[in-house]
Amino acid sequence: MPDADVTYADVQFKRPKTNVSDPFLSSDDTTYSEIKTQRSELPGCSQQQVGSNRKRHVTSQRAALLVLSLLLVAAIITLGFTKVKPGSSDQTKSPPPSSCPPPPTCPLPSTSPPPGLNLNEKHLKCEAGWELHGEKCYYFNTTKSSWKDSRDGCKLKGGHLVKIDSREEQIFLEARLREKMEEAEDKFWIGLTDSEEEGRWLWVDGSSLDTRLKFWHSKDPDDWKGDNGENADGEDCARMGERGGAADLKCWFDKSCNVPHKSICEKAAENR
């Protein structure tokens, strides 16, 4: 219904004529005066006004949120500036110093010996008259005697006739004998013999000759018994040495154990 005033026209009601004796009836006509009823305009009844009010309400909320956001950004910026010292380009705090010591900048000294240096040789010693090589001491006995006497003489000195355990040891001994020999037959007894069983060569400690460490010269051992058989026992003991040097270190010779020769004794070096 449109928002307009409602006007009711004057209405007269005429009563029919009745007996005047009726006390309750009046002869006068009853007239209702003009009744004008005006609809009061309720707020918000207009659709256009409601939409307008809602728009104004939403715009106010957005404005309030925008203001709060700007205030929050300003507070964050202000807080950040208060943590940074003026004139400093570093925007972050430096980490606290560590309680652990810094790692070393230089490598630790190596405990390995320099190449070619044997630390054991610094402490290994030999008695007077003995020569140190590796971990052994060698005694070059220039007194000539039989193989058995030479063996016993080495025992008295605390050692034994030499036992050659490596090619390196053979190289050392062959070189030293070249310097000590005065003639071709000036050879030295070593601790090798097959006197117990022909052809079975044993060292003085009872160990068998290693077939990979044999340095026999030419056709030796040949167990030669002499041209006329005068050497009936044959050649059962080993000697070594070539005054002019030996090809491929082959300078072992078998010989009768009774022939006097110089000898080589050996024993372990002492750690002092």
227-265: per-residue pLDDT in tens? 777 778 899 999 999 998 998 999 999 999 999 999 999
240, part of any domain: yes
Q: What share of the chain is helix, strand, coil (3-state, %, to 5)?
A: 25, 20, 55
Q: What is the DSSP letter of 84?
A: S
Rounded Cα distance between 3 and 194, Å, is 148
pTM for the whole structure: 0.55
Rounded Cα distance between 142 and 181, Å, is 10
Structure tokens at 190: 């070593």
Structure tokens at 184: 């071709």
Structure tokens at 201: 């060569």
Amino acid in the structure at residue 11: V
105, part of any domain: no
Residues 176 and 140: beta-carbon distance below 8 Å: yes
- For residue range 101-113, what is the model confidence (pLDDT) as tens digits? 555 555 565 555 5
Write the CATH number for 258.
Answer: 3.10.100.10
Rounded Cα distance between 174 and 192, Å, is 16
Please state whether beta strands 188-193 and 261-268 pair in parallel, antiparallel, or not at all (unpaired).
parallel
212, part of any domain: yes
Q: Which domain holds residue 217?
A: 131-271
148, part of any domain: yes
Counting the structural domains of the chain, the total is: 1
Residues 252 and 238: beta-carbon distance below 8 Å: yes
109, part of any domain: no
Residues 160 and 205: beta-carbon distance below 8 Å: yes
Residues 188 and 240: beta-carbon distance below 8 Å: yes
69, part of any domain: no
Report residue 26's pLDDT band, with 50, 70 and 90 as the boundaries.
very low
Nearest to 136 by CA among 176, 167, 165: 165
Which residue matches tokens 């009872």?
206
122, part of any domain: no
113, part of any domain: no
Q: What is the mean pLDDT of the chain?
A: 77
